[in-house]
Amino acid sequence: MPDRPSIGVVGATGAVGTVTLDLLRQRGYDNVRVFASARSTGKRLGEWTVEEATPDALERGDVDVFLFSVGTSASRELVPHAVRGGSVAVDKSSAYRLEPGIPLVVPEVNGARALEHEGILANPNCCTIPLTTALKPLHEAAGLVRVRVATYQSVSGAGAQAMERLRNEAPAEHDLRMDWSFDGEEFDEESKLRLETQKIMELPDLPIQATCVRVPVMVGHAEAVWIETEENLPPERARELLAAAPSVRVEDFPSPGKAAAGIDDVLVGRLRRDPTVEHGLALFLACDNLRKGAALNAIQIAELVVHRARAAA
């Protein structure tokens, strides 16, 4: 891996791709190439010109790490070409998250897994990332028994077109939505949150129940979380643990839109006992779903890969 790795952003014109480019600029990456669909080819994104994300372009072998922010079907088609060309692919879609042998990584939770890749690493769901970031220190201290979570997800999680619809929507038309695939019992967003959390936390039998809704907020997801632990964990101690945890900021009243949007930390607050179970704890968290919930986490995964390659050189 060279000292200035070449980074390719696939899906650069989308909501996550745009934030990815901003974060790469902020972190000092200048050896960047941007890819999107044929209709965006030639478009300027700041200092970069969009290239078409074709199998041949991705397989050329002239990019060290690709950050994919495209749909599941596109990822299944394009990621293998990038890997055949010798690149490492960090994929944001659900295409590879639950595949055996493919690391599903939140660096603050299971960063060591990023070093076990064979070309593909998966970037988790935008609610799973902040949830596991908050659960990790609590599990290490007291052991998780079960988790219940209700998510309140902004429209940016559904992409740039959904954001534009909200901008053009009258406030009187605002409503909660459940706009994911439904199997008759669960939305796929709910099953993703459960299965991905179990994989990242390496607790395959951990009972997790989720209810997910979309709210008329432009950017910023929020989650109400109820946990039960093996050992007693007073709210005051939980607050101390979370305040010391990486990428977590403790606040009394986390807010997704005004407080969390535009920052990199996961905001956690409303820490209190849940009296319905013996060792119960309730909390509320908020996170910018386009930053730590997507683009930033992918960049952090890529940085783990780059640092390992440099150390091995």
Torsion of CA 12, 15, 21, 25, to 10 degrees: 170
Q: Catalytic residue among 81, 127, 221, 287, which?
A: 221
In this structure, are strands 32-36 and 7-10 parallel, antiparallel, or unpaired? parallel
Distance CA 66, CA 215 (A): 31
Q: Tell me if residue 279 is catalytic.
A: no
Both structure tokens of 244: 């010391």
Looking at residue 127, its amino acid is C
Question: Is residue 127 flagged as an active site residue?
Answer: no
Q: Which of 81, 117, 126, 287 is catalytic?
A: 126
DSSP assignments along the chain, one per residue: --SS--EEEETTTSHHHHHHHHHHHHTT---EEEEE-GGGTT-EETTEEEEE--HHHHTSS--SEEEE-S-HHHHHHHHHHHHHTT-EEEE-SSSSTTSTTS-B--HHHHGGGGGG-SSEEE---TTHHHHHHHHHHHHHHH-EEEEEEEEEE-GGGG-HHHHHHHHTS-GGG---B--S-B-SS-BHHHHHHHHHHHHHHT-TT--EEEEEEE-S-SS-EEEEEEEEESS---HHHHHHHHHHSTTEEE-SS--IIIIITT-SSEEEEEEEE-TTSTTEEEEEEEE-TTIIIIIHHHHHHHHHHHHHHHHH-
Residue 212 makes CB contacts below 8 A (sequence gap 6+) with 127, 150, 151, 153, 178, 180, 187, 189, 190, 193
Active site residues: 126, 221
